[in-house]
Amino acid sequence: MKNEKIKFRDRIKDISSGLGDSLKESTLWGSIFRPGSPFRKGYSDSPRNRSYVVMNNVLYHLHPVKVKRHGVRLSYTLCLGGLSFFTFIVLTITGIWLMFYFRPTEMAYVDIQTLQTSIAFGSLVRNMHRWAAHIMVLVVFLHMSRVFYHGAYKAPREFNWVIGVILLLLTLLLSFTGYLLPWDQLAIWAVTVGGNMASYAPVIGAQVKFALFAGLEATEATLLRFYVLHVLFLPFIIVIFMAIHFWRVRKDGGISGPL
Amino acid sequence: MVDIPEHLLLKTAEARAKALGISVEQALAEMRGEVKPTKIEKEPDIIEVSPVEVEVKKEAPVPATEVKKEAPVPATEVKEEAPVPATEAKEAPVTITKEAPAPAPEKSNGQIPAEVDFAPETKVTQRLLTVVKAKPIQKPTSEPVDKVNTWPHLMLPEFISLMAMTAFLIFLSAILQAPLLEEANPNITPNPAKAPWYFLGLQEALSYWDPQIAGIMIPGVIGVFGFMAIPYIDRNKDNKPSKRKYAIMLYTFFLAGAGTLSIIGILFRGPGWNWTYPWIDGVWFDDLLDWVHFE
Ligand code: HEM
């Protein structure tokens, strides 16, 4: 009896590993995972393959094959830049999902209510989008502070700091435009107060506010304007600046330091 | 000091030890500046005597820079000491001599007399005078750095931290409900009306100063252009914290100031923007509505 059990388990194992092998040998599999991928048949852990994992992969757009040893220590970057980027990805995914259920019209408030009460995972995804937005502002700010304390803005990285400040500004603008969208009392008044503060800016403050708000105060025209900025224009711009930012990190010789 | 390869350093030290009659260890230590260089008193080291002509007092004529520096012996002195008997010379710790007594040099004005034969065939007379560091024709512009493979040394920590972040976010979203108040109504102004939290420090600052000034100075000039200009203002090239105390102090002041103003704006401001204590009067911060009304 016991023996048979073992035999049965072995047979299942054989079949599954056989299936796995023939899957990995298929043309389809081999065409997806390029040489060096750990998912390819016969992968072995060698320095050459470790290089291929990055080099033969879309990852090569983000990472070089090798990085400074001190740069991979979590205690140096605290992964804050990476996490800024990652929260942005989470926000994009949850945001696109929210767009299925949201209209930037007089229906906006009702749509959010419906989303929270009658749509599967609606509440969870809305919460994730909102908390991730707050976290992103915080993490980007912390990333900036980490860069400052490491003096990582010094030559040749001066311009990447400038790009960074633009990224911080865009992050704040993304958060601010999103703030209005639920169209509740919190949204409209926070945005009104924020807009009033912007209008104090010299010379162009009032004009900027007028252009941003599509008028003198927060109305439904403002809602549409903020919506378009929030889901299309600002993400588009921030992605471009992120691309430049990451490119510069590499071209400036990778992570700064060690201290 | 330039890095001189160890074996050349040792060779130099040996030569020096031989010349000064000290141990090689001491010569090495002197060259590294660890101990005071040996002063040569009156006992002259005779390092070579040409068979017929001159016995040369070491300090004066030998063009070894180190020796010269230490004891620039005047010409007269050389003359006095030159006719050293061979026996005396033998007593000197490091002496290479020939028995023949030598006449004093004709004109010893500190220069090497032309007729001195410095290289009798019987002796090895080369000395290491200086080490010229070899320079490559192509200069490498960067120092080699210690690198590791991105996979797995960077990507694994990245993956772990993004997983941790996701877990944290899902957990937070499950326990904390995002606020949704009544529908927007332009005719009912809440009291207090607060900006999003990252602007609350600014709003707090605006409540002290004339909006024109605070509005212009704080966000516009300092906030954006000032921050962008930081790398161009801070010309200190050092990135060691101990070498940039001033910059660190300024930024820390900024953090502390912004943090304090924000916390006041978030937690300590109630209706009419009056001071309130969160534990007595409650919190007017609707972003965390669910959390604030948790109990
Ligand atoms: C959306 C916002 C941002 C994203 C996604 C982002 C992403 C990154 C990433 C992934 C790195 C690699 C090193 C690391 O993880 O620390 C980095 C480095 C850097 N970032 Fe950012 N960043 C953002 C905002 C900023 C801001 C606001 C600043 C400064 C004002 C800044 C300045 C820099 C600089 C100077 C470096 C080079 C640091 C070094 O070499 O040590 N970035 N950024």
pLDDT at B168: 97
- Tell whether the model's pLDDT for residue A4 goes beyond 90: no
Where is average pLDDT lowest: A86-95, A142-151, A250-259?
A: A250-259
Q: Which of A73, A237, A249 to mutate to test the pocket of ligand 1 (most atoms within 8 A of CB)?
A: A249
Which range is most confident: B73-77, B180-184, B206-210? B180-184
Please say whether the beta carbons of B169 and A128 come within 8 A: yes
| Residue appearing with tokens 């549409």 | A224
Q: Which atom of ligand 1 is nearest to the CA of A241?
A: 1
Q: What is the pLDDT of residue A178?
A: 97
Mutation test residue for ligand 1: of A70, A236, A245, the one with most atoms within 8 Å of CB:
A245
Query: What is the residue with the minimal CA distance to atom 5 of ligand 1?
Result: A85
Distance of alpha carbon A26 from alpha carbon B93, whole angstroms: 85
Give the pLDDT confidence score for residue B275 in this predicted structure: 93
Q: Which helix (H) or strand (E) holds B155?
A: helix B155-175
Query: Does B55 have pLDDT greater than 50?
Result: no
Cα B101 to chain centroid, rounded: 57
Query: Longest Cα pair distance anywhere in chain B, in angstroms?
Result: 121
Distance CA A90, CA A128 (A): 8
pLDDT reported for residue B1: 52
Name the closest-CA residue to atom 1, ligand 1: A167
Asked whether the beta carbons of A226 and A177 are under 8 A apart, the reply is yes
In this predicted structure, the answer to whether residue A44 has a pLDDT above a threshold of 60 is: yes
What are the backbone dihedrals phi and psi of residue B46, each rounded to the nearest 5 degrees, phi first? -95, 115
In short, whether A160's Cβ falls inside 6 Å of ligand 1 is yes
pLDDT band at A42 (very low <50, low <70, confident <90, very high): confident
What ipTM was predicted for this assembly?
Answer: 0.88
Summarised one tens digit per residue, pLDDT across range B95-117 is 444 444 445 444 445 555 555 55
The neighbouring-strand residues paired with A184 are: B183
- What are the pLDDT digits (tens) for B130-188? 888 777 777 777 777 788 888 888 989 999 999 999 999 999 999 999 999 999 999 99
Question: What's the pLDDT band for A119 if we cut at 50, 70, 90?
Answer: very high
A43/A36 Cα distance (integer angstroms):
7
Q: Which residue of A has its CA nearest to B227?
A: A165
Q: How confident is the model at residue B62 (pLDDT cuts 50, 70, 90)?
A: very low
Name the nearest CA neighbour of B20 among B53, B50, B49, B59: B59
Q: Do B162 and A86 touch (CB under 8 A)?
A: yes
A124 CB neighbours in chain B (<8 A) are 170, 173-174
Q: Is A205 exposed, middle or buried (0-12, 13-18, 19+ CB in 10 A)?
A: buried
B69-B73-B75 Cα angle (round to 5): 135
> Is A165 a pocket residue for ligand 1 (Cβ < 6 Å)?
yes
Give yes or no for residue B77 having a pLDDT over 50: no
Lowest mean pLDDT of A179-193, B33-47, B131-145, name the range.
B33-47
How far apart (Å, rounded) are the C-alpha atoms in residues A204 and A198? 9
The burial of B93, by beta-carbon neighbours within 10 Å (0-12 exposed, 13-18 middle, 19 or more buried), is given as exposed
- A82 Cβ below 6 A of ligand 1: yes
pLDDT at residue number B33: 78
Atom of ligand 1 nearest to the CA of A168: 27
Q: Is A241 in the pocket of ligand 1 (CB under 6 A)?
A: no
The neighbouring-strand residues paired with B55 are B49
Q: What is the DSSP letter of B194?
A: -
CB contact under 8 A, B251 and A149: yes
Q: Which residues contact B37 (CB under 8 A, 6 or more apart)?
A: B30, B70
For A1-33, letters b (16+ CB in 10 Å) and e give eeeeeeeeeeeeeeeeeeeeeeeeeeeeeeeeb
